[in-house]
Amino acid sequence: MKSIRRQSRRCRPKRTTPRCYTPVTEALKNPTCFADTELAQGISAHGLVGLLMQAINRKRRSDGEPLGNLLCALLVWPLLGLNSIHCFCSELGQFIKGKASVLYDFLGREDVSWRSLSAQSSLAVYQNNELGPRGQSAFVVDDTIKQRAGRKVQGTASHFDHTEGRTVRGHQVLQLGLAGAKGFIPVEAQVVMSDAHPVDKPKEKPFKDQRSSAARDMRRSWSETKHGLFRKMVQRAIQLGFRARFLLADAWFGCKENIALALELKLTAVFQMKRGNLAYAYQRRACTAAELYQKVQRRLRPANRQARFKTASLIVSLNLQPQPDQPPQWVEVRLVFSAPVRAADADTWVVFLCTDTRLSEVEILKAYSLRWSIEVYFKEIKQHLGFLQEQSGRYEVAYASVHLAAIRYLLLFEAMLRDGRLSYGEMRDRQSGRILVLTYALLLWELFRALIDGALDTLVRQLGRKTIDAVRTAINDTVEDFLTAALQMKSDQIQTQLKAQELGYL
């Protein structure tokens, strides 16, 4: 037995960064699946050409080129493996009369309300498909940065990228979506410049019509804060008809105003909180998150012997009144502290806040794991669906690109879901959602592990014990690394948050 353990340690492969699966684009790899056909069917089924006509200024509706051709071309070109619209038109765009110039001119129109078209598409997909029980659905918010440099690229600014831990220049996009057991629906997106340095904000008016959709979107991007945009997005989503139980966000959005919004809208907020000076009332004393962690540190317990994380929780009171001279608004919340069982650094821990004190630690962390779906969405649109890949520096094009990427995802997601081609991705979504809370749902992973071990044991004679042990180790490491990254429990992620907090970004 000892010799086998020694051999497995020697054969242990070097850990690599876990890959983030992309169910929609992986389903498109099926040789019987044609993206252009799926998009064309989605455009027809949801009447997107009619919605696009409604989103355009009536005075400029006729440009000579049929809107159906333009919309289909703009949606299809990133899925064909081409580098730009110019390549698409020169190789495959013979049905467009003016070729590349027509598409770029249409993208550059100020009066097209791409936000409205995207929102109506999201609502149609939401109403026509069942994402799962409402009790297991959540509004999720997060932001992503697309690095883009150049003086002529409008709408860019210097932002702190928490994935890289440094300041980069590019477009920062705030995204709100609805996550359920069967997938993720992007609801609304907005380019954000409000947190940028004043020198980055537009000094001139780059629009012919200051009342156009693109002009209003740009003013909103730098005049309103990220938190203000987030709150208005959630309110508009509920007004449109979207429904969910939870409101999820990482530590970048954990503040009193956002927690108060969740309570006002009768949503259960589950936020990862930052380690700041925010005071919680516990046993008639005001304590910060770090001070409360010291109180529960000895009570942290793993769910079982094989668990990688240990947890403990407290019910505390929080004053949601942001103004100190106003009457306090006390509410009870549950704080869940989590730390790795074997951590190289004792300071590696996170805290989650839940406004429903009746939920257990398991339920809270299982709900928070739905937040991972928006990360998958970002990976899909960035790598495969043409997110901000148009070769133009105009803000109108960036505004259109953000929403066109969402529409591509929506149409493909619904097509794959409707035709059953997402069966593998859907099953993996469900399994991975439970693997995200591996510490708290160990039985599921133990079942998978038993099945995997049984399958591998049949190959021992052909491949040898060393190879099989190495494969087992690789599988375990991959699952555990995926869990650690999904719950944002990696030491480098926590250090990045602390660095951003010191610099004033968080």
Residue 426 banded pLDDT, cuts 50, 70, 90: very low
Lowest-pLDDT range of 264-268, 298-302, 342-346: 342-346
- Tell me the CA distances in angstroms from 15 to 102, 150, 249, 482, one per residue in order: 48, 37, 29, 11
CB atoms under 10 Å from CB of 237, counted, come to 23
Q: Can you give the pLDDT at residue 53? A: 81
Q: Can you give the pLDDT at residue 125? A: 92
For residues 22 and 80, the answer to whether their CB atoms sit within 8 Å is no
Encoding tokens for residue 463? 């491949």
**Angle (CA) 313 271 246, round 5°:** 105
Cα dihedral 357→362→364→370 (10° resolution)? -160
More confident residue, 373 or 459: 373
Instruction: State the DSSP H helix or E strand holding residue 339, giving kind and residue range, or none if neither.
Output: strand 330-340
Integer Cα distance of 322 and 503 in angstroms = 22
Encoding tokens for residue 359? 């939920």
- SS3 per residue for 53-117: HHCCCHHHCCCCCCHHHHHHHHHHHHHHCCCCHHHHHHHHCCCCCCCHHHHHHHHCCCCCCHHHH
Integer Cα distance of 36 and 399 in angstroms = 23
For residues 166 and 505, the answer to whether their CB atoms sit within 8 Å is no
Q: What does the pLDDT look like over 375-401, one tens digit per residue?
A: 889 988 988 888 988 878 889 999 999
Residue 288 has pLDDT above 70, yes or no: yes
- Tell me the CA distances in angstroms from 113 to 57, 117, 305, 359, 477, one per residue in order: 9, 7, 55, 41, 46
Say which amino acid occupies 70: L
Encoding tokens for residue 306? 């094989």
User: Strand 138-147 vs strand 246-249: parallel, antiparallel, or unpaired?
Assistant: parallel
More confident residue, 482 or 290: 290
Residue 186 has pLDDT above 90, yes or no: yes
User: Strand 138-147 vs strand 166-180: parallel, antiparallel, or unpaired?
Assistant: antiparallel
Q: Can you give the pLDDT at residue 8? A: 44
Residue 429 has pLDDT above 50, yes or no: no
Q: Can you give the pLDDT at residue 490? A: 53
More confident residue, 431 or 505: 505
Integer Cα distance of 92 and 87 in angstroms = 8
Say which amino acid occupies 100: A
Residue 352 banded pLDDT, cuts 50, 70, 90: very high
Q: Specify the 3-state DSSP secondary structure of 503.
A: helix
User: Per-residue pLDDT averaged across 412-432, rounded?
Assistant: 56
Q: Can you give the pLDDT at residue 425? A: 38
Among the ranges 1-10, 62-71, 403-412, which has the highest mean pLDDT value? 403-412
Q: Can you give the pLDDT at residue 423? A: 43
Q: Can you give the pLDDT at residue 492? A: 58
Percent of the chain clearing pLDDT 70 (strictly above): 67
Residue 316 banded pLDDT, cuts 50, 70, 90: very high
Q: Can you give the pLDDT at residue 313? A: 92
Integer Cα distance of 443 and 446 in angstroms = 5
- Tell me the CA distances in angstroms from 188 to 110, 120, 402, 405, one per residue in order: 19, 10, 10, 12
Residue 281 sits at φ, ψ, to 5 deg, of: -90, 120
For the chain, the maximum distance between any two Cα atoms, rounded to a whole number of angstroms, is 80
Lowest-pLDDT range of 104-113, 201-210, 491-500: 491-500
Residue 176 banded pLDDT, cuts 50, 70, 90: very high
For residues 74 and 36, the answer to whether their CB atoms sit within 8 Å is no
Residue 294 has pLDDT above 50, yes or no: yes
Q: Can you give the pLDDT at residue 451? A: 53
Q: What does the pLDDT look like over 451-475, one tens digit per residue?
A: 566 566 666 666 677 777 777 777 6
Q: Positive or negative CA dihedral for 89, 94, 100, 106?
A: negative
Residue 346 has pLDDT above 80, yes or no: no
Encoding tokens for residue 253? 């959005």
Please state, rounded to an integer, the average pLDDT across all residues of the chain. 76
CB atoms under 10 Å from CB of 268, counted, come to 21
Among the ranges 30-34, 125-129, 186-190, 310-314, which has the highest mean pLDDT value? 186-190
Residue 505 has pLDDT above 60, yes or no: no
Among the ranges 70-84, 89-103, 276-290, 420-434, which has the highest mean pLDDT value? 276-290
Q: Can you give the pLDDT at residue 433? A: 37
For residues 349 and 338, the answer to whether their CB atoms sit within 8 Å is yes
More confident residue, 192 or 485: 192
Q: Can you give the pLDDT at residue 437? A: 37
Residue 339 has pLDDT above 50, yes or no: yes
Q: Can you give the pLDDT at residue 415? A: 80
Q: Can you give the pLDDT at residue 81? A: 66
Integer Cα distance of 296 and 310 in angstroms = 11
Lowest-pLDDT range of 30-39, 263-272, 357-366, 477-486: 477-486
Residue 151 has pLDDT above 70, yes or no: yes
Residue 91 has pLDDT above 60, yes or no: no
Q: Can you give the pLDDT at residue 5? A: 45
More confident residue, 485 or 358: 358
- SS3 per residue for 435-476: HCCCCCCHHHHHHHHHHHHHHHHCCHHHHCHHHHHHHHHHHH
Q: What does the pLDDT look like over 46-76, one tens digit per residue?
A: 788 888 888 776 555 445 557 777 787 788 7
